[in-house]
Amino acid sequence: MPELATKAPDNPEFARVIDLAAIRDRDEFAFDIRPDPAEARALARLMGAISLRRMRFAGRLTPVAPKGWRLEARLGATVVQPCVVTLDPVTTRIDQDVTRRYLPAAGETPLEVTVDAGEDDEVEPLGPRLDLGLVAIEALALALPAYPRRADAALPPEAVAALGARAAGEAEAKPFAALAALRDKLGNSS
């Protein structure tokens, strides 16, 4: 079984690089990767999270013609993020299927590659190696809520009032506000 490299210059947080030439003759390559505690802390920092409690990325790579690969995996993670309103911890559970197709660039194979736009999976360029950790990081980043919020979180009334006053002040600072005021003044004096 080929070893997964744990060092990659473009992914210092959670590299799991597979040399595709080493698995070329297989019908399938199964994988099950998880970050160690130091990697989990690095991933949490990368995601702007408080912590990454658990993460598992498990699946398989299968060859597809011509000279490509299909990745089918399941991402499971428990992430604690700060609430956008209160900064209190918000725990999010991610359970998501991840599917990708990796195909060689047009000049690398004599066969023409066509992609069906109706398919759900993403088509990615194929290189000599594939970083499964980077795929997992991308899937996690896309699955996390951009604005995590506790269900009971609300801005205090004074903060809402301050936001309203600031919005009113911003309306006066608009580039044509002075012209509108002049128009109104001229319109009223005639």
Strands of the sheet with 68-82, listed across from one edge? 29-33, 51-64, 68-82, 89-103, 122-125
Task: Extract the tokens encoding 173.
Answer: 């600072």
Q: Could you give the angle at the alpha carbon of 98 between the alpha carbons of 92 and 103, nearest 5°?
A: 150
Segment 9-34 shows an average pLDDT of: 89
Amino acid in position 94: I
Paired residues of 60 in beta bridges: 30, 72
Task: Extract the tokens encoding 53.
Answer: 């409690």
Nearest alpha carbon to residue 49 among 91, 17, 18, 95: 91
Flag the least confident range among 64-68, 82-86, 157-161, 184-188. Answer: 157-161
Indicate the helix (H) or strand (E) that contains 104.
none
pLDDT in tens, 54-111: 999 999 999 987 788 999 999 999 999 999 888 889 999 999 999 999 888 765 443 3
Nearest alpha carbon to residue 24 among 69, 70, 73: 69
pLDDT in tens, 25-63: 888 999 999 999 999 999 999 999 999 999 999 999 999
* Its pTM surpasses 0.75: no
Report residue 113's pLDDT band, with 50, 70 and 90 as the boundaries.
Answer: very low
